Each structure stands twice: as structure tokens, then as C-alpha cells.
Amino acid sequence: MGIVTQTTAATDPETAADFGSQLQYSLTTVPDPLTVSPASGTVETGDLIIVGSRISPEPVETNQIAVYVPLGTEAWQLALDLTGLQSLINLTGWTGTPDPANERILFKPATGHATLTPEQGITVQLNKLRINRQVGTAPIVLALNWRAPGSTSWRTEEQTLAIGKFPPGFYLRNLKPDSAYIENGDTVTLTWERSTNGNETYHLLYESQEFDVTDYSTFRVDDVSRNTMFYLRGRIQAGTGTAERTINTYVTVNRPDLEISSLIAHGTVEAKKGIIVGPQYELFRTTNSETIRKTYAADTAGFMTVTLLTLDKNDSVGRRVSLWVGSPDNASGFLELNTADDGMYLPSRRGATVVVPAGQFGFSLVGTGSRPSIEARIVWMPLGTDSAPPRAQ
């Protein structure tokens, strides 16, 4: 049974605040993570640092901010009491007052109400909280009273943050890459700090892979080709259950590989290092000179390649190959190759490719000689790796 499950996300400045909330909060602790007090004797203390970020086009007025801290000895409660608590806030003229009866710390401005301007944030600190002796997860509730300027009606906005309490001596923190921005194919080395009391396990997870890193505090990842979120999960036995903490970090790749289900380009698509296509299907190969005409239907777009090879460069036999897209009588794309253009004979391989959208396409060969001196080969290469060969019509 998991009695503590805590995930600490890497900071993302692009989502530090939410337009749907007046304040969006993040929580850090000292120590990180919090550990419970021993079963008897000394009481451990911890600090909570709560940052409220705001990105809004309009100011708001507020007359109080309350932080609710569950008090008691149970696993779902955080602190034994508010004795010795030190409360701080970064807003000028504001003070914090412990309210043990309501299990909260109440922050108020001396002027009755104050204005939070657009993009203004707050920082609240609760120092020297007396952490209780039970491993578990406690909810911290933040309640903001606010109104629009000129309004007389106050509203309350609440958000809940979960905070884990871990066994004494356990910690997992500071997961960092040696570089957070790399080139495609580069290597990343991850480092972290963790406790080694003897009954912890640690696993590194990214994409679809998982590695046991219990005996390590560093890990090398080669050939990183796409933007990657790395997760480090630590577990420790706590009584009959387990306490689990997961931290993460993010690595951005310049010009990453992409894997998508579909792509629509309204402009030019340029491939610097080639295009990967599906398996090649040979539709036709002959050394005869007779006239041949074939039509196929494809379920996916692809490339059709024709190659003409002169087997005897001294032979004057010619062969003309026509490729079409759509239908032979109403083609939207058309290409011809001729082994005897302007009296020139092919001493070596010559090829051409037609890009074919899904639908009908085909080819015809017209021979002008009687000897098997020219080989014609036509190959279909679908775009994608899961497509079937074209069907003869």
C-alpha cells in the first residue's frame, strides 16, 4: 500500500500561472522532502515556502489570504500544533497571524484591503512547523479573498496542495542534466541526490524505458534525439506500506526527431538528409521489347521509380516508358523516359521518380526492337512503414 505518493514537477515558466485563477501556487519545503519526527523524543521542524504567481490583464483587490494547515497526530495531518511558528509574507504592510482554533494562518493588510497588480506575485513562508510523527500526505489549502476594483462583493478562491511526509533520513532531490539544451544525437548525463539507508529503491523512467538506478546517483543517456522528460522515482518501506517520491527534469533538443500520426504541409517540405519510406515493392521487371500497359491502385501516397538499364551499349534498341497519375487517359502527372532521345543510347543506369498521391497510377512501356538489350524495372515505395503493396487494376 502506498501511504505517500508525491510528485515534484520541474519548474515551467510558461505555465507558472493560469488565467483561470487569480493566483497559481507552487510549494517547496526545507528540508526537501519533509521528514516526520521520530516516534518519541525530539520534534522535527520544517519550513513551507509558497509562491503565488499571477499573470492577468486586470488588477484585483484582496483583504486576506489564509493558509490552512491540518493539525494533529494522524498521517493526513501535517503539524502537531502552531507553537513557535514564524509566518512571513513579501507584501508590504501585511502580517500573518496563527489561528490554531481554525487550523490556519491568516495574512491581512494593515489598510483593510490591498491591490494585486497584473503579474504581481506573493511569497508566503511558514517556518518552524512542528511536523508530526506519522508518514503520510497532508493537504495544504490556500484561500484568497478577492474582488474586482469597484466591486463590493468578495469572492473566495481556494487551491489545495498536497505535501508528503517521509520516513526519517529519506531524501531524493536535485535531479539535473549536465545540459538542459542539446543538439540532436547528443549525450546527456543526469545527476541527483538520494539517501542510502538501505531499504530505498530508485528507478529512472523516460519515454517507454525504466532503469533500476538504486546504486547510482548519475546516469548517462546516449543519442537523445527528441525533447525528453526524465522521471526519477524513489521508494522506501514505511511500516506495512511504502512512501514514494518522484521528481523530474526536462531536456530540450535542437531540431528534434518527431513522431506524429499525420502531417499536413501548406508549403514546401524539404528533406535535408533523405526521406524514410516503407518497404519497396517491385511492380515490374522485363528485358522484352513488347508493349506493356499496367494500372495500379494504392491506399497510401508514395514514390514510383523506373530504371532503364542498357544491357548492350552498342545495341540501338530503344524503349520508352510513360508514367501517369490519376488514369492513363486523364493524368494529373506525367513523365516519359526514352532510351533513344536524340540518338543517345544509355551506357549506364538511368532512373526517374514520380510522386504519387493515394489513388490510381500506372505505367506503359513501348519497345522498338527485338533483342533483350534493355532492362526495365519499376518499383513502388509507399510513404510510411505500415502500407500494403498497390493492387493491380
Indicate if 124 and 9 belong to the same structural domain.
yes
CA-nearest of 53, 50, 61 to 18 is 53
Residue 189 C-alpha cell reads as: 548525463
DSSP 100: G
User: What is the CATH classification number for the domain harbouring 382?
Assistant: 2.60.120
Name which residue leads in pLDDT, 298 or 218: 218
What is the residue-averaged pLDDT of the chain? 80
pLDDT at 133 over 90: yes
Q: 183 and 72 share a domain? A: no
pLDDT interval class at 351 (50, 70, 90): very low
Please indicate, yes or no, if residue 260 is contained in any of the structural domains: no
- Per-residue pLDDT, averaged over 348-358, amounts to 49
Structural domain ending residue among the three candidates 132, 147, 166: 166
The cell numbers describing 55, all together, are 499573470
Mean pLDDT score, 327-355: 45
Interatomic CA distance for residues 204 and 231, integer angstroms:
6
**Residue 271 within a domain:** no
Q: What is the DSSP string of 159-219?
A: EEEEEEEE-TT--EEEEEES-SEEETTEEEEEEEEE--SSSEEEEEEETTEEEE-TT-SEE
**In this structure, what C-alpha cell is assigned to residue 30?**
526545507
**End residue of a domain, out of 113, 145, 166:** 166
Question: Residue 146's domain is classified under what CATH number?
Answer: 2.60.40.1510
Task: Report percent pLDDT > 90 for the chain.
Answer: 51
With respect to residue 272, please indicate whether it lies within any of the assigned structural domains. no
Note whether 229 and 111 are same-domain residues: no
Cβ-proximal residues to 59 (8 Å cutoff; 6+ apart), any chain:
115, 116, 117, 118, 149
pLDDT for the residue numbered 379: 77
Strands 34-35 and 155-166: parallel
d(CA 54, CA 21) in angstroms, rounded, equals 8
Q: Are residues 185 and 288 in the same domain?
A: no
Average pLDDT of 280-286? 75
pLDDT at 340: 42
On whether both 50 and 142 belong to a single domain, the answer is yes
Q: Are residues 240 and 289 in the same domain?
A: no
Write phi, then psi, for 214 (nearest 5 degrees).
-55, -35
Report the residue count for the chain: 393
Counting Cβ atoms within 10 Å, is residue 172 exposed (0-12), middle (13-18) or buried (19+)?
buried
Would strands 374-382 and 281-286 be described as parallel, antiparallel, or unpaired? antiparallel
Average pLDDT over residues 52-76: 93
CATH number of the domain bearing residue 179: 2.60.40.10
pLDDT at residue 73 is higher than 90:
yes
- 186 and 150 share one domain: no
With respect to residue 269, please indicate whether it lies within any of the assigned structural domains: no
Q: Are residues 97 and 203 in the same domain?
A: no
- Going by the DSSP 8-state scheme, the letter that residue 342 receives in this structure is G
Residue with cell 502580517: 95
* Claim to verify: residue 219 and residue 96 sit in the same structural domain: no
The span from the CA of 297 to the CA of 320, in Å, is 22
Note whether 197 and 325 are same-domain residues: no
The C-alpha cell that represents 343 in the structure block: 540518338
Q: Are 312 and 346 in contact (CB under 8 A)?
A: no
Task: Give me the residue label for grid cell 512512501.
Answer: 243
Contact call for residues 52 and 67 (beta carbons, < 8 A): no
Q: How far apart are CA 225 and CA 228, in angstroms?
A: 9
Instruction: Please check the confidence at residue 201 and state whether its pLDDT lies above 80.
Output: yes
Q: Given a cut of 90, is residue 49 above it in pLDDT?
A: yes
User: Three cell numbers at 320?
Assistant: 520508352
- Full residue range of the structural domain in which residue 370 is found: 281-392
Grid coordinates of 192: 541527483
Phi and psi at residue 95, in whole multiples of 5°?
-135, 155
pLDDT band at 365 (very low <50, low <70, confident <90, very high): low
Residue 293's SS3 state is strand
- Give CA–CA dist 276/167, Å, rounded: 52
Question: Does residue 333 surpass a pLDDT of 70?
Answer: no
* C-alpha cell read off for 120: 504581481
- Using the 3D structure, point to which of 111, 136, 166 is the last residue of a domain: 166
Q: What is the pLDDT of residues 219-266, one digit of tens each?
A: 999 999 999 999 999 999 887 788 999 999 999 999 998 887 777 888
Region 23-50 average pLDDT = 93
* pLDDT confidence bin for 62, thresholds 50/70/90: very high
Q: Count up the domains in the chain and report the number.
A: 3
H-run or E-run covering 300:
none
Q: Are residues 76 and 158 in the same domain?
A: yes
Greater pLDDT, 363 or 19: 363
* Alpha carbon distance 47, 126 (integer Å): 6
Question: What Rg value do the Cα atoms of the chain yield, rounded?
Answer: 35
Mean per-residue pLDDT, 201-223: 95
User: Of 136 and 302, which is predicted with more confidence?
Assistant: 136
Question: Among residues 19, 53, 21, which one has the least CA distance to residue 122?
Answer: 53
pLDDT at 332 over 60: no
Residues 195 and 81 in one domain: no
